[in-house]
Amino acid sequence: MALKSILVHVTNSKEAKARVEAAFALAMDHDAHLTGIGVRSAVQIPGFAAARIPPQVIEDVEARQEADNRAAHEIFDGAASRAGWSDRSGWFEGIGLPSEIVGLHARYADLTIVGQQPVSGADNAEEAFADYLVMRSGRPVLVFPHVGAAKPIGRNIVVAWNAGREAARAVGDAMPLLEGSDSVDILSIEPEGIGDLPGADIAQHLARHGINAIAKRSVANKVDAGDVLLNFVADNGADLVVMGAYGHSRVREMIMGGVTRHMLEHMTVPVLMSH
How confident is the model over 194-210, as pLDDT tens digits? Answer: 666 778 999 999 999 99
Burial bucket for residue 45 (CB in 10 Å: 0-12, 13-18, 19+)? middle
3-state DSSP helix/strand/coil percent for the chain, to nearest 5? Answer: 45, 20, 35
Dist. CA 126–CA 134, nearest whole Å: 14
Q: What are phi and psi of 189, to 5 degrees?
A: -105, 115
pTM of the model: 0.89
Cα–Cα distance measured from residue 260 to residue 248, given in angstroms and rounded to the nearest whole number: 9
Question: Rounded to whole angstroms, how far apart are CA atoms 39 and 100?
Answer: 10
Q: Give domain limits for the chain.
A: 5-144, 156-270
Spatial strand order in the sheet of 213-218: 89-95, 33-40, 5-9, 111-115, 141-144, 271-274, 240-244, 156-160, 183-189, 213-218
Superfamily of domain 5-144: HUPs (3.40.50.620)
Cβ atoms 149, 18 nearer than 8 A: yes
Hey, do 5-144 and 156-270 end up sharing a CATH topology, with the first three levels equal? yes
In the DSSP assignment, the letter for residue 122 is T
Taking residues 63-87, report their average pLDDT: 95
Which residue type sits at 89?
S
State the architecture of 156-270 in CATH terms: 3-Layer(aba) Sandwich (3.40)
Q: What confidence category does residue 121 fall into, taking pLDDT thresholds of 50, 70 and 90?
A: low
For range 89-111, the mean pLDDT? 95
Q: Among 14-23, 65-74, 95-104, 192-201, which is the least confidently predicted range?
A: 192-201
Q: Cis peptide before 98, with omega less than 30 degrees from 0?
A: no
